[in-house]
Amino acid sequence: MRKITIIDDNTSFADTLSYELTRRGYSVLSAHTGATGLALVARESPRLVFLDLHLPDMDGIEVLRRIKRSSPGIQVVIATAYPQFSTALAGIKSDVVDYLCKPFHFTELDAVLDRAFAREPEPASLPAPPQPAGPMPLIEMIGPSAASVALRALIRQLAASGVRAVLVTGESGTGKDLVAGCSTPRARAGRARSSR
């Protein structure tokens, strides 16, 4: 049975999330401080951690860094009521598998779990997926605004991470095709062919 740890000082939220995960067949343990959560992760070696960013004894990003430093194979999902893009970017740089803003609908949980467990390390008998040689160039991505700069940084992080698939969502006309075209040489080639 896959183990999941919840590190969140909101006991009501942690209990509800634990119930939903247990209903889905996972073994779940909760901690309400960063120190207790780190000790629980070290002892139990869960496959996945749901981590709040605002904990009473330490910053959630510091908890994340310590988890990834000691156990890089553990997947982490940030769940917070105080979302900030800079925090999300810091989390992605630290190999966060997902980022949820509270309150979130529990129908989102299955998609989050699918993404998290899809990123589990491959069995040792299988070759590791090829890693890109370096960050992909961001063709046609222009704009001096803080949001544009942050978006380009985010794309570079994802391109360099070796992630095989990324879902890009948004309203029509917001540049989803442009962002997707920045991700891989194949996507860029396909876009070039389609424009002829």
The verdict on 19 and 103 lying in the same domain is: yes
Split into its structural domains, the chain has a count of 2
Question: Could you tell me if residue 134 is inside a domain?
Answer: no
The verdict on 92 and 152 lying in the same domain is: no
The verdict on 56 and 151 lying in the same domain is: no
Question: Could you tell me if residue 128 is inside a domain?
Answer: no
What is the reported pLDDT for 23?
93
The verdict on 86 and 28 lying in the same domain is: yes
What are the residues whose beta carbons fall under 8 Å from the beta carbon of 192, sequence distance 6 or more? Answer: none
Residue 79 main-chain phi, psi, to 5 deg = -130, 115
Segments forming the whole domain that contains residue 155: 146-195
- Contact between 150 and 85 under an 8 Å Cβ cutoff? The reply is yes
Tokens 């978006």 -> residue: 151
pTM: 0.60
For residue range 53-99, what is the model confidence (pLDDT) as tens digits?
889 999 888 999 999 999 988 999 988 777 665 566 665 665 788 87
What angle, 0 to 180 degrees and rounded to 10, lies between the N-to-C axes of helices 60-70 and 34-44?
20
